[in-house]
Structure 1
């Protein structure tokens, strides 16, 4: 039938059918759905057969082997299935529609285009995002502002981390009497209002993850409900949410922003639909109790090394990672290491402490503990961080006071995705560690490579701070970590003054 003929057949206005043709993802109102159901029920067997054939998903047109893998994951991968269920529920779709939406998008994807887009995204640097979000949000009030810092006299760095003077230079040991983030008895529901636009973007994200073979696991995440951060103390409460909900909502904001920057599109309010829906203002950023606020901990790692006849005087080895393209967060960016989501393993109450995540990330990202990487396999141990299960380097560090220092150096809310960021410093004080275990320090799959710097090499560190490839949270943690290391590092450190500013 023509559009006019079909409208007459249903008894509705022709412009309604025209609108469906222009926007095929539109969900009709319930009374119109009933009209369509009746029309299909009264149709001839030939029409019904043709309709069934046209609405059956086509075989996935992906590179050899990828189609089968994507089809299997779409049907049996528990994370993808959980994400589809989550999307059906929060978009208020009938059960099964999310799967059809993802499958329809999957067959239209060209993996080469996705890789090309990844290259284009890689050309957008940290400074570009900082400028764009400064324009989008404008100036903060009540003492909050975006973190920036000056390294020495020549290098200035601005970030997208919204912070406050009380949240900086915390000098907060990550020990229970200072590290008092606690688990709430009840977590508010993730009551996100998803319209057709935001739900469609979520389905697109899942289709792209399947096409690219990205690693996703529906792990529990801590969701920040309230926080009070000040000198020597972290207090507040967290609830528990799911990774898939985060992955198809707040984590999409970065890609939307970067794609706008790569194509020269405006990034002002009203031009970024996802950001306008989920994080439209600085008051929304700060209101962590009323939105999904996931995040994590990341730390500058400084390892004491003895003097060496070839390298020179005793110093600290500083580690920086180049993030893999397969990670969900800060892909292909520079970051300190370790870096991870704040999330529980088995003891949700104890794991709510910031230091619990940081110690686990040390084991996973520095000392090769794959058994605590929940993207690799399920966690079956009652206590994965029991002393008997620790790696040999970690057991040595924990075996005697004074060998390991863990401190939180700053806190902020990242405007990129609304994440909370606990910037920290890990200092291995005993230089015997490097002699014993330096050869065992290695990154896991989340890093494509590691870089090492000396705390005595001021020129190279200034060049590092000036590198535009940083993630915003990584640069925040680096600068706060170097600032604190300058205070406590003694003769192992040769750093200029590092002065922060809230803008």
Structure 2
């Protein structure tokens, strides 16, 4: 594949030279950076089909470069298929060894967590009690376990831009002022699948009682009915959860009914929903889509039955009150640091996580931290505020408060976030009002229809890093934590362009950095960021 990419680059360079044009002049005409064009000619980096059509036309190549790109993509698909088949054979051989040695014994579907999932599928799929448990157990005892392991692992290798591109083709142009959010970092476009309106981004709304006015209302819903492919995919999700130790719990969460960002106030209504209903219905749209992309299958309505049922068009995406619209809160966490003789001048440290394989969505992808579903702990009405979820997630994901993790056992404390129970870092931050929390944007994610509140959490007192920097530690939802400086333009720019971001994670990251640039003064020196518009620039 390396040699094929180099050959494609050589053809590009040959066509450019034959046309008598410089790299700079070609780059200007096809709207890319000259350095990026040079990398492509040297066989480094990737470009989409639109680039190859444009550069072919600019150089008068008569379709030569378009055909070369198509040949490269076809060869890449063949190579990836061969790799998947080889990996599948290796996993199957390993499973045969486990089976021969009697290591495939009691399955985790017998424990309480998975039991709630299979019981839910029985109930809503119209099955006799125990049917789902038997089907999942049978599935995991044969070769399907190995195949599922390979397919789940392949999902994280499908890039964010490709997901956004395929969803853009599926839904087409939006109306009513909606558009997919994206940006140009320098001359490189970084698209996402998060749909926004102009009044939903570029905001800076303090998450206090005056501005955070999301409230809970009583809004009963019709019962859920699993049928056909929906039932099959729900059972598959339970099996995948068994393989990857993903936590499926029947916990309450908030479902969005309405939202307005008017006059600097977040006004919205939420009702109650079930996490299991979300995980075993609309959240399956992500795996259905990414599996199709990874396997080279067409991304269209007849090939995506779940998407065609739950989220078929823009009307369904935007009519949040008529569907299960779950979602949550993501926040870029930034901490002021003093000058350091090794690191350099005073800056902000910003945190980025890689999601663990045990989470329901965004597994293996980059995200801001914290990132959590909007749901209650014990006080369903008071916890409906966006700030309530953000504070809880800070405690859980950064400061080690496992007792506020909603995926674990039932909550025993009446007021889990009472000041007397807070972690020492959180108590210090709240006692002196040393933390700024703002909503920087809102969007609807085309991947599963989720609502996404992008936020920024800033600690401007340098003392926090000195006192509590060692106490900041990601929980089980992350496989690792990265720290970036707001003065490191090169690495931050590279991070923004990273294809392993989740779409919602990049959405919150870009909006948070924009706001941090406005308030951070000399601590912040970031690459140029320009939002894309409905026309693409």
TM superposition score category, shorter chain reference: 0.7 to 0.9
* Counterpart mapping for 1:63-462 below 5 A: 67-73=105-111, 77=112, 79-151=113-185, 153-189=186-222, 191-230=223-262, 232-401=264-433, 403-462=434-493
C-alpha displacement of 1:498: 2.2
Residues 316, 206 of structure 1: CA spacing in aligned structure 2 closer, same or farther, 3 A cutoff? same
Is the contact made by 2:429 and 2:435 (CA closer than 8 Å) also made in structure 1?
A: yes
Indicate the SS of the match to 2:413. coil
Cα separation, 2, equivalents of 1:325 and 1:262: 18
C-alpha displacement of 1:128: 1.1
**Residues 384-416 of structure 1, C-alpha deviation per residue, up to 9 Å, x if partnerless?**
100000000000000113x10000000001010
Cα separation, 2, equivalents of 1:116 and 1:259: 11
Greater RCO structure (CA 8 Å; 6+ sep): 1
Is the contact made by 1:322 and 1:449 (CA closer than 8 Å) also made in structure 2?
A: yes
Indicate the SS of the match to 1:396. helix
Residues 231, 463 of structure 1: CA spacing in aligned structure 2 closer, same or farther, 3 A cutoff? farther
Cα separation, 1, equivalents of 2:349 and 2:364: 23
Cα separation, 1, equivalents of 2:257 and 2:175: 21
Indicate the SS of the match to 1:68. coil
Identify unmatched segments of 5+ residues in structure 1. 1-59
C-alpha displacement of 1:115: 2.6
Is the contact made by 1:83 and 1:245 (CA closer than 8 Å) also made in structure 2?
A: no
Residues 201, 292 of structure 1: CA spacing in aligned structure 2 closer, same or farther, 3 A cutoff? same
Residues 155, 81 of structure 1: CA spacing in aligned structure 2 closer, same or farther, 3 A cutoff? same
C-alpha displacement of 1:261: 0.8
Range with bigger deviation, 279-288 or 93-102: 93-102
* RMSD (Å) for aligned C-alpha atoms: 1.8
Residues 148, 212 of structure 1: CA spacing in aligned structure 2 closer, same or farther, 3 A cutoff? closer
Cα separation, 1, equivalents of 2:189 and 2:102: 48
C-alpha displacement of 1:343: 0.6
Indicate the SS of the match to 1:111. helix
Indicate the SS of the match to 2:438. strand
Please tell me whether Structure 1 or Structure 2 has the larger radius of gyration of its CA atoms. Answer: 1
Residues 170, 389 of structure 1: CA spacing in aligned structure 2 closer, same or farther, 3 A cutoff? same
Cα separation, 1, equivalents of 2:103 and 2:275: 27
**Residues 36-92 of structure 1, C-alpha deviation per residue, up to 9 Å, x if partnerless?**
xxxxxxxxxxxxxxxxxxxxxxxx96985553142523xxx1x43333333233333
Cα separation, 2, equivalents of 1:377 and 1:90: 24
Is the contact made by 1:222 and 1:344 (CA closer than 8 Å) also made in structure 2?
A: yes
Q: Paired residues, what number?
A: 437
* Alignment-derived partner of residue 472 in structure 1: 503
Using the size of structure 2 for normalisation, the TM-score is 0.78
Using the size of structure 1 for normalisation, the TM-score is 0.83
Indicate the SS of the match to 2:530. strand
Indicate the SS of the match to 1:188. coil
Cα separation, 2, equivalents of 1:65 and 1:399: 53
Cα separation, 2, equivalents of 1:66 and 1:391: 41
Identify unmatched segments of 5+ residues in structure 2. 1-97
Cα separation, 2, equivalents of 1:63 and 1:113: 20
Residues 97, 376 of structure 1: CA spacing in aligned structure 2 closer, same or farther, 3 A cutoff? closer
* Alignment-derived partner of residue 516 in structure 2: 485
C-alpha displacement of 1:282: 1.0
* Alignment-derived partner of residue 494 in structure 2: 463
* Alignment-derived partner of residue 42 in structure 1: none
Cα separation, 2, equivalents of 1:285 and 1:385: 34
C-alpha displacement of 1:232: 2.2
